[in-house]
Amino acid sequence: MAEATALLGKPIADRIRSRILADRPPDLRPCLAVVVASDDAAVARYAAAKQRIADALGLSFRVETVDPAGGQAALDDRVAALSADPGVHGILLELPLAAGLDVETAIRRLDPLKDVDGLTPHNLGLIAAGREADALLPATPDACIRLAETVADLRGSRAVVVGRGRAVGRALAPMLVNRDATVTVCHSRTRDLAAAVAAADIVFVAAGRPGLVTGAMVRPGQVVVDAGISVIDGRVVGDVDAGSVRPVAAALTPVPGGVGPLTATLIFANLLRAVHLQRLAGRLR
């Protein structure tokens, strides 16, 4: 039986990086500030990976370490200071934050025009209003859509989004509506997940539950995009049981190698967009 086509993030990321290199503003070096408020080694690794991309793209990069012992106020104050700093054009909160720190509270202090991961209610509201052209789009949902679009036409398609979390599902669903898909959103209270998945043409999974979507749920011809990331015994896995889904679906994003590599690059595409939006707002010359 034919295996699902592997939808890889790297080729798309490489094209976007070439475009970023060509589109860098001639008169200023855009600066991304990444806030690390966690002792988790994985969070430090995510920041280091972005540093390498910034270096390759000739963009300015700052790691802003916040001691979790300083509590929510220290984090909020740092986000506010970066929002006010004219030398910083984009701000990213590297997640997860240390236990006891709340991302929703911190982003109240985040300038929406510097919100390069589209997390603020301002940017989510623009998306929900169908005004993506004015918004900074969250990178992971954007990556999911770009991968699906390489093999499927979203317009008129039936799409299911499994997960309504803040990083992925919450924004992905309205972004799919904006692209004329017919969208079903599933979550932990959904009664019949298998039926919802089977009814879709394109399946997006972002629940953080390894093995949630299995080969028994999918149909031949479906496109499956797996945004989930979990670490089991030191191995990074998604939410899709790839071993049983691959022989059935038409296309599947591998984990690792699918959504992840594209997400980090899209943060830098958003950094250039942030500079553009700040110029339009009269904040930069």
Provide the binding-site residues for ligand NAP, judged by CB under 6 A.
Answer: 140, 162-169, 186-190, 193, 206-209, 212, 227-230, 259-260, 263
Which lies closer to ligand NAP via its Cβ, residue 77 or residue 149?
Answer: 149
Which lies closer to ligand NAP via its Cβ, residue 93 or residue 274?
Answer: 93
Identify the burial level of 40 via C-beta atoms within 10 angstroms of its C-beta, where 0-12 means exposed, 13-18 middle and 19 or more buried: middle
Give, in degrees to the nearest 5, the angle at Cα 112 between 111 and 118. 130
Tell me how far apart the terminal alpha carbons of the chain are, to the nearest angstrom.
58
Which lies closer to ligand NAP via its Cβ, residue 30 or residue 258?
Answer: 258
Smallest gap, in angstroms, from Cβ of residue 223 to ligand NAP? 17
Smallest gap, in angstroms, from Cβ of residue 168 to ligand NAP? 4
Distance CA 184, CA 203 (A): 10
CA separation, residue 193 to residues 59, 141, 170, 175 (Å): 43, 20, 17, 21
Distance CA 206, CA 231 (A): 15
Which lies closer to ligand NAP via its Cβ, residue 68 or residue 258?
Answer: 258
Which lies closer to ligand NAP via its Cβ, residue 173 or residue 248?
Answer: 173
Query: CA-based Rg of the chain, rounded to a whole angstrom?
Result: 19
Residue 36: name the closest of 94, 85, 108 by CA.
Answer: 94
Smallest gap, in angstroms, from Cβ of residue 142 to ligand NAP? 10
Smallest gap, in angstroms, from Cβ of residue 143 to ligand NAP? 7
| Shortest-Cβ-distance residue relative to ligand NAP | 165
Identify the burial level of 273 via C-beta atoms within 10 angstroms of its C-beta, where 0-12 means exposed, 13-18 middle and 19 or more buried: buried
Smallest gap, in angstroms, from Cβ of residue 185 to ligand NAP? 9
3-class secondary-structure state, position 41: helix
Smallest gap, in angstroms, from Cβ of residue 194 to ligand NAP? 10
Which lies closer to ligand NAP via its Cβ, residue 16 or residue 193?
Answer: 193
Which lies closer to ligand NAP via its Cβ, residue 17 or residue 24?
Answer: 17
Distance CA 13, CA 88 (A): 24
Smallest gap, in angstroms, from Cβ of residue 87 to ligand NAP? 27
Amino acid identity of residue 16, one-letter, is I
Cα atoms found within 13 Å of the Cα of residue 212, Cβ hemisphere only: 28
